[in-house]
């Protein structure tokens, strides 16, 4: 969602004549879009702000701005704490980014704009991004009504509001006309998209499936309680919906799930997995897990390991619990100590990574369609994803493959990716020049060990 918000602000600023400057020190305006989901991400923001002090001292005309969830959470306090900061804006103010920066430049004011848009359940925010990557994110709703006790999102992104199906489909058509093949719809709790507006996520998926030229549809993030039958049955029946779902379970212990206010049990979660696999036997499932939530005992954690072992996820994002100001879990006490959190995280990772390694082995010698998205960061090959969202490095293709779905024979694999060769060309690795272009992938891998 932050990637999408950053792209949106960039488009708004470009339209007003601002130009991107790759070198931080040369920029007239430094805008940092931030995340406050865990303490560590906030620390990074504050330390980066510290590093920028010298630049501002050298050139007081430079504008330094913070947008996103840290801006929303800290607001005026941030402006008071950081004297060289000029502007703070929350997620609901991103469409005003250009006028706010201009106010700072023109009037030399220091500003905070962190009010929520609290009117109704609908909002309009047509996509402004000019380019169209092979795979694009599209935010379809904002906010969250769930208030899981560890989570800061409802405090920094407000209540749930949705865009209309008509507006979203128009965005999809515009992206497809520019070359996009795949869209990933985004929402914090996307299953309840359309709450209070009379529209449903399953209807949006049906409508997107009819968009000519669009090849693949994905969405995230789902909540186990809110993933309804209509959505489950779409896997395996809606042609363009990829056989892949991110379904965070956070903890396997019913006691901890209750304390987290997740509103489901381990049994309900496993039942949803069963229904999903009945609807679509080869569905690739990914998840989020938190270890070391307050009061989590060894027995509780073993329930998390049990779910990980039973489900065999294709990828998992695993986090140590991080206390967030203002959330209910902060008052629970019973903190799990850091070393125990670390040890549990490592154990959970071992279970998941060994499963993924085995799963990836099965792809060897198979020929699978891959949507090529970009040149790899190391500039050695091009990379893309399968419908199951597996990252594939393709060794014998060039720039012309970007944006195309091609058949790839998998020859190698490890825990983080698959490696293979396009079947329509000789199996020789191509040489890339340092300045070959390529589109940056917006989707990141959960683990990033390189292929040998």
- Positions touching ligand SAH (CB under 6 A) are 37-38, 150-151, 153, 188-189, 221, 223, 248, 250, 288, 290, 319, 321-322, 324
> Whose CB is nearest to ligand SAH?
288
Q: Which does 312 bind (CB under 5 to 8 A by kind): ligand SAH, ligand SF4, none?
A: none
Structure tokens at 82: 């950081």
Minimum CB–partner distance for residue 427 and ligand SF4 (Å): 44
Place of tokens 């390189």: 450
What is the enclosing helix (H) or strand (E) of 161? Answer: strand 161-162
The alpha carbon of residue 130 and the mean position of all alpha carbons in its chain are separated, in whole angstroms, by 20
Q: Give the nearer residue to ligand SAH in terms of CB position, either 56 or 344.
A: 344
Minimum CB–partner distance for residue 288 and ligand SAH (Å): 3
Q: Which does 147 bind (CB under 5 to 8 A by kind): ligand SF4, ligand SAH, none?
A: ligand SF4
Minimum CB–partner distance for residue 72 and ligand SAH (Å): 15
Contacts 24+ apart (CB under 8 A), 376-381: 378/450, 379/432, 379/434, 379/436, 380/429, 380/432, 381/429, 381/430, 381/432
Question: Alpha-carbon distance 293 to 348, whole Å?
Answer: 14
Q: Give the nearer residue to ligand SF4 in terms of CB position, either 43 or 147.
A: 147
Minimum CB–partner distance for residue 81 and ligand SAH (Å): 22
Minimum CB–partner distance for residue 260 and ligand SF4 (Å): 8
Minimum CB–partner distance for residue 153 and ligand SF4 (Å): 4
What does 312-354 look like in DSSP terms, one character per residue?
--SEEEEEE----TT-GGGGS--PPPHHHHHHHHHHHHHHHHH
Q: Give the nearer residue to ligand SAH in terms of CB position, either 251 or 360.
A: 251
Q: Give the nearer residue to ligand SAH in terms of CB position, either 225 or 364.
A: 225
Q: Which does 319 bind (CB under 5 to 8 A by kind): ligand SF4, ligand SAH, none?
A: ligand SAH
Q: Which does 37 bind (CB under 5 to 8 A by kind): ligand SAH, ligand SF4, none?
A: ligand SAH
Q: Give the nearer residue to ligand SF4 in terms of CB position, either 49 or 290.
A: 290
CB crowding 2-16: b at 16 or more within 10 Å, else e: bebbbbbbbebbeee
Question: Alpha-carbon distance 381 to 391, whole Å?
Answer: 12
Parallel/antiparallel/unpaired status of strands 382-385 and 405-413: unpaired
Which residues of this protein are in contact with ligand SF4, per CB under 6 A?
144, 146-148, 151, 153-154, 188-189, 223
**How does DSSP classify residue 262?**
-
Q: Give the nearer residue to ligand SF4 in terms of CB position, either 141 or 402.
A: 141
Q: Which does 38 bind (CB under 5 to 8 A by kind): ligand SAH, ligand SF4, none?
A: ligand SAH
In terms of Cβ atoms closer than 10 Å to its own Cβ (0-12, 13-18, 19+), residue 143 is: buried
Q: Which does 154 bind (CB under 5 to 8 A by kind): ligand SAH, ligand SF4, none?
A: ligand SF4
Q: Give the nearer residue to ligand SAH in terms of CB position, either 221 or 387.
A: 221
Q: Which does 181 bind (CB under 5 to 8 A by kind): ligand SAH, ligand SF4, none?
A: none
Question: Alpha-carbon distance 313 to 186, whole Å?
Answer: 21
Q: Give the nearer residue to ligand SF4 in terms of CB position, either 70 or 375.
A: 70
Question: Alpha-carbon distance 102 to 113, whole Å?
Answer: 14
Q: CA of 403: how far to CAs of 132, 222, 242, 422, in Å? A: 10, 27, 17, 14
Q: Give the nearer residue to ligand SAH in terms of CB position, either 62 or 328.
A: 328
Question: Alpha-carbon distance 274 to 280, whole Å?
Answer: 10
Q: Which does 288 bind (CB under 5 to 8 A by kind): ligand SAH, ligand SF4, none?
A: ligand SAH
Q: Give the nearer residue to ligand SF4 in terms of CB position, either 201 or 356.
A: 201
Q: Which of 244, 189, 187, 236 is nearest to 218 (CA)?
A: 244
Minimum CB–partner distance for residue 70 and ligand SF4 (Å): 16
Q: CA of 330: how far to CAs of 71, 185, 348, 374, in Å? A: 21, 32, 24, 42
Minimum CB–partner distance for residue 293 and ligand SAH (Å): 8
Q: What are phi and psi of 151, to 5 degrees?
A: -105, 135
Minimum CB–partner distance for residue 149 and ligand SF4 (Å): 9
Q: Which of 301, 282, 305 is nearest to 390 (CA)?
A: 282
Minimum CB–partner distance for residue 146 and ligand SAH (Å): 7
């Amino acid at each position: 969602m932050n990637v999408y918000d950053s792209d949106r602000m960039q488009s708004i600023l470009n339209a007003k004549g601002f130009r991107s400057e790759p070198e931080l020190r040369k920029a007239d305006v430094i805008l940092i879009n931030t995340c406050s989901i865990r303490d560590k991400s906030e620390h990074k923001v504050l330390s980066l702000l510290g590093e920028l002090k010298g630049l501002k001292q050298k050139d007081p005309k430079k504008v330094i701005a913070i947008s996103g969830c840290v801006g929303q959470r800290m607001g005026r306090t941030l402006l008071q704490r950081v004297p060289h900061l000029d502007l703070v804006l929350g997620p609901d103010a991103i469409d005003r980014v250009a006028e706010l920066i201009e106010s700072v430049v023109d009037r030399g004011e220091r500003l905070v704009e962190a009010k929520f848009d609290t009117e109704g359940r609908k909002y309009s925010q047509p996509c402004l991004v000019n380019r169209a990557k092979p795979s694009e994110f599209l935010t379809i709703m904002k906010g969250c009504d769930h208030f899981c006790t560890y989570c800061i999102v409802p405090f920094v992104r407000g209540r749930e509001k949705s865009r209309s199906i008509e507006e979203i489909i128009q965005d999809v058509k515009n992206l497809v006309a520019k070359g996009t093949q795949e869209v990933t719809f985004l929402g914090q709790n996307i299953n309840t998209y359309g709450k209070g507006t009379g529209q449903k996520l399953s209807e949006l998926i049906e409508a997107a499936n009819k968009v000519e030229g669009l090849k693949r549809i994905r969405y995230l993030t789902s909540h186990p309680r809110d993933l309804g039958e209509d959505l489950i049955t779409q896997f395996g029946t809606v042609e363009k919906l990829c056989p892949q779902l991110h379904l965070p379970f956070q903890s396997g212990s019913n006691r901890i799930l209750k304390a987290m206010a997740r509103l489901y049990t381990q049994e309900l979660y496993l039942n949803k997995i069963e229904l999903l696999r009945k609807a679509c036997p080869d569905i690739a499932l990914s998840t989020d897990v938190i270890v070391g939530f307050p009061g989590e005992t060894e027995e509780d954690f073993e329930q998390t390991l049990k779910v990980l072992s039973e489900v065999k996820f294709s990828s998992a994002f695993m986090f140590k619990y991080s206390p967030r100001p203002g959330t209910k879990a902060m008052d629970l006490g019973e903190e799990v100590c850091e070393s125990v959190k670390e040890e549990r995280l490592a154990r959970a990772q071992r279970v998941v990574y060994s499963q993924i390694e085995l799963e990836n082995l099965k792809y060897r010698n198979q020929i699978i369609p891959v949507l090529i998205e970009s040149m790899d960061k190391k500039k050695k090959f091009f990379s893309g994803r399968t419908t199951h969202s597996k990252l594939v490095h393709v060794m014998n293709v060039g720039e012309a493959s970007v944006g195309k779905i091609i058949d790839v024979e998998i020859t190698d694999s490890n825990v983080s990716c698959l490696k293979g060769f396009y079947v329509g060309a000789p199996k020789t690795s191509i040489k890339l020049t340092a300045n070959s272009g390529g589109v940056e992938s917006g989707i990141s891998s959960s683990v990033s060990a390189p292929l040998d």
